[in-house]
Chains A and B, each alone.
Chain A
């Protein structure tokens, strides 16, 4: 399994490098708010600012690019529908968006497993993944740097458990089994890893 790697320098887009941190976060929140009033232009802008992270996450979890596109498409529709319900006092716009995407992606891999257990044929469509990240990819070099240092702050075992759960879409019990850990250990590593990530990134606790 691929590791949660540091963000490569090449992934940064100069176009968005100028809008890091809090400003970018305020911008997304404002775009969501406008979307909630039915402003499609604002939503298109929101899409442009987030689609590489959204699609990249979907691809990473579900693997199949065609299915990842479906996941992203469904997620964006849900984001549009729920945009007026986003509450910026409870978290950032990007976390809210990615929570929706992650949930949809995990649902997709789990229901795919459920249907393959029922012997349903699952037709794998193959589309080439474009690794050319131009749109919002790693939207700011400063941000990428913060993420990189935050990720290196995790212990190896925290990182391992966290990536299996987050990118692998496994439950903490499955993670424990995969890593030959006693049940209960994986959930602790996942939580500790997230807490360390949170504290390193300076996310309000």
Chain B
């Protein structure tokens, strides 16, 4: 319990502003009482729409069922297993180095998003962002954060840019995932900080979705939490 505790009701019904929401979500990672209370208050709020039920137009049903035809449900959350060594640092450096040769294309166009990004990373990410076949998909997270996923099929590389992300919480880290068939494959971890630009590990061209989850520090081999962000991809 703490002074933040009374926000549980407003949190349960989405009545916090972005800043409070981020604070409260951080608090939730360490306060089981609040988590239980939020769940019970959401149950209570769930009766309110009993009073506003309205039949939707029949066409909505057709659209919803057409939508799901093209989408596979996410795999269930599974138990955490220890992380295998994962980051392809050498490969990443090689790619980045190769791209330095291509040079600071568009340096005037793109902002240096993050102090944490090294110059070589920036070049590699720029290369993806500026690729002729780069496609960008954006997801607005509810708390005001934005996730922009940019993929180049010709480079088979992808970059994710986040803005305004809430802190992952103590001993937590945001982990990036690419979905291949039934598997979510780790595509790296995000540095702490609200605004980040990250070059993904892995094979984005054949991925069917990109996701971000909040994982225990060090990352997980499989997502253990529901995704914070999830963007569907068309396979190229």
Contact = CB atoms under 8 A, between A and B. Distances in A.
Contacts of B50: 7, 53, 138-139, 143-144, 147
Interface string A1-44: 00011110001000000000000000000000001111010011
Most buried by A among B42, B43, B65, B142: B43
A103 B75 CA distance: 23
B55 A132 contact: yes
B130 interface: no
B68 A55 contact: no
A29 B72 CA distance: 19
Interface in B7-38: 7-10, 12-17, 20, 36-37
Contacts, number: 220
Interface residues on A, range: 35 or more
Nearest to A76: B64
A150 to B, nearest CB: 6
B54 A85 contact: no
A69 interface: yes
Contact of B61 (A11, A51, A137, A197): A51
A62 interface: no
A195 B76 contact: no
B51 A73 contact: no
A102 B76 CA distance: 23
A79 to B, nearest CB: 9
Contact of B41 (A55, A107, A135, A191): A191
Chain A facing B: main interface SS: helix
B80 interface: no
Nearest to A36: B73
Given A92-B46, A187-B7, A198-B43, A151 B51 contact: yes
A205 B74 contact: no
Contacts of A195: 9, 41, 44
Nearest to A35: B73
Interface residues of B, number: 52
A53 B45 contact: no
Nearest to A200: B44
A129 to B, nearest CB: 6
A116 interface: no
A10 B47 CA distance: 18
Given A138-B53, A143-B50, A204 B40 contact: yes
A203 B55 contact: no
Interface in A153-174: 162, 165-167, 169-173
A146 B44 CA distance: 12
Contact of B52 (A43, A59, A198): A59
B140 A134 contact: no
A194 B8 CA distance: 10
Given A102-B45, A172-B7, A195-B44, 9 more contacts: A52-B54, A84-B76, A99-B42, A135-B55, A143-B50, A151-B51, A165-B15, A194-B45, A198-B43
User: What are the 8 A-B residue pairs with the smallest beta carbon separation, nearest first?
Assistant: A191-B9, A95-B46, A198-B44, A55-B56, A56-B54, A137-B53, A165-B15, A52-B53
25 contacts: A44-B61, A48-B61, A56-B54, A82-B73, A82-B74, A83-B73, A85-B74, A85-B77, A102-B45, A103-B142, A130-B56, A136-B53, A137-B54, A166-B45, A171-B15, A171-B20, A172-B15, A173-B17, A175-B15, A190-B15, A194-B41, A195-B9, A198-B40, A198-B41, A203-B44
Interface of A: 4-7, 11, 35-38, 40, 43-44, 47-48, 51-57, 59-60, 69, 72-73, 76-77, 80-85, 87, 90-92, 94-95, 98-99, 102-103, 106-107, 111, 127, 129-139, 143-144, 146-147, 150-151, 162, 165-167, 169-173, 175, 184, 186-188, 190-195, 197-198, 201, 203-205
